[in-house]
Amino acid sequence: MPEQFDVVVIGGGLVGASCALSIANTAPHLSVAVVEAHQVTGDYHPSFDDRSIALAQQSVEYLQSLKLFEHHAPYAAAINNVTVSDRGHFGKAHINCAEFNKPSLGYVVEVNPFGRALHQHLAHANISVFCPDSVTSITSQLHCNLLTLQSTQQLSAKLVVIADGAQSPSRNLLGLRFNTQGYSQGAIIANIEVAGGHNNHAYERFTQNGPMALLPMSNSRYSLVWCMQQADIAQHMALSDSDFLTALQTAFGYRAGRFIKVGMRGNYPLVYGQVESLTAHRTVVIGNAAHAIHPIAGQGFNLGLRDVQVLSNLIASSKHELGSYAFTRDYAQQRKGDINTVMTLTDALVRLFSNSSRVLALGRSIGLFSMDLFPSLKAPLAKQLMGQVKQGKCL
């Protein structure tokens, strides 16, 4: 007989693990399982690489409420200030957490140790973990979905949560299309050490070759996201460390200080993508399996974590049967606005600042300059950075 669960989360990456832990915390009476294809072996897990992610302040507060994040963790660094600028043009905007009476605008978290910490929480929670294992088929039944695993184990679930990433094999099993549009740019990711420290200051800088972000990390390091045309990525990846630092310093300038050391470099294609439907029979799709956005604004994981938060709250408070059509419909309605807003704004931001038109460049400069002069104009941007959104609108 299949092993029966109320909720089965497919995928144990950052979003999947957070989701299972959130549901177990919010609705402890429910039986919850996670199916994850890869074990955390030493420091290795394919989802937990050397990248860093930005946690918006709202995400920090939510994870802290679940006891899943500690701001004193050695792999976390606060973002207290953000400067947004357009290279070669006069406009820039500064955002400070003190202006909005917040302890920070968010945190930068190293993915590898954070992911391993989440899996340690999974191991000590009242959650069944099937790992290493994967789902090979999903069969819809009236009151449940029947999942067959690679190990031949069968699970039944009143609600299935698909959280196995942008390539999502389980999403494909259900025939849910993921509509994507590639950018002409890719991104180089690396950790950069800066002389004199970073003072918890983040930078978003737009250049004629693509946007750049520097996010403060522990040990006087920045997490670099450097977007450029695909044709230029191979050339920059082939540079020696010293030549790479020289090229970075030339492109970014000295606003953040002098770059003195670079860690291992990686490169990633950039896509804009969205699943055709957030739901299927007794199923919801969350995180990167549901939406893929440009990394420059650091909103990807925060968007996925708001998926988790809405789903957990709905499980705890919905009057509808768990996993029913009315339940999944409510989830889709509650998430649609926020997802569409963040994806549209992020895509528009990238395309606006990638346009070389002088008229648009002047408009960008005036806009950034006005935001710096009038704090009320920067409030929507600051609230978006801090994750203070409801139904797709800033609070």
Q: What is the CATH number of the domain that holds 308?
A: 3.50.50.60
Q: Is residue 331 assigned to a domain?
A: yes
pLDDT of residue 327: 98
Residue whose entry in the numeric block shows the structure tokens 């419909």: 329
Residue 244 inside a domain? The answer is no
Pick from 86-90, 169-173, 177-181, 284-288: least confident: 86-90
The CA-based diameter of the chain, rounded to the nearest angstrom, is 68
Is it true that the peptide bond before 216 is cis, omega within 30 degrees of 0?
no
User: pLDDT exceeding 70 applies to what percent of the chain?
Assistant: 84
369 domain-assigned: no
Using an 8 Å Cβ cutoff, are 104 and 57 in contact?
A: yes
Find the domain containing 281 and state its range: 3-51+111-179+273-348
Query: Is residue 82 included in any domain, yes or no?
Result: no
Least confident span in 32-41, 142-151, 256-265, 357-366: 357-366
Q: Which residue has the higher pLDDT, 191 or 389?
A: 191
What pLDDT sits at residue 370?
44
Q: How confident is the model at residue 46 (pLDDT cuts 50, 70, 90)?
A: low
Residue 374: is its pLDDT beyond 60?
no
The model's pLDDT over 174-191, given as tens digits with 9 standing for 90+, comes to 999 999 987 778 889 999
Res. 100 pLDDT band, cuts 50 70 90: confident
User: Does 314 map to a domain?
Assistant: yes
Residue 365 domain-assigned? Answer: no
- Is residue 266, in this structure, part of any structural domain at all? no
Q: Which residue has the higher pLDDT, 355 or 207?
A: 207
DSSP 20-53: HHHHHHH-TTS-EEEE-SS--BTTB-TTS-S-EE
Residue 356 is assigned to a structural domain of this protein: no
Q: Domains in the chain: how many in total?
A: 1
When the pLDDT of each residue in the chain is averaged and rounded to a whole number, the result is 85
Note the pLDDT of residue 359: 38
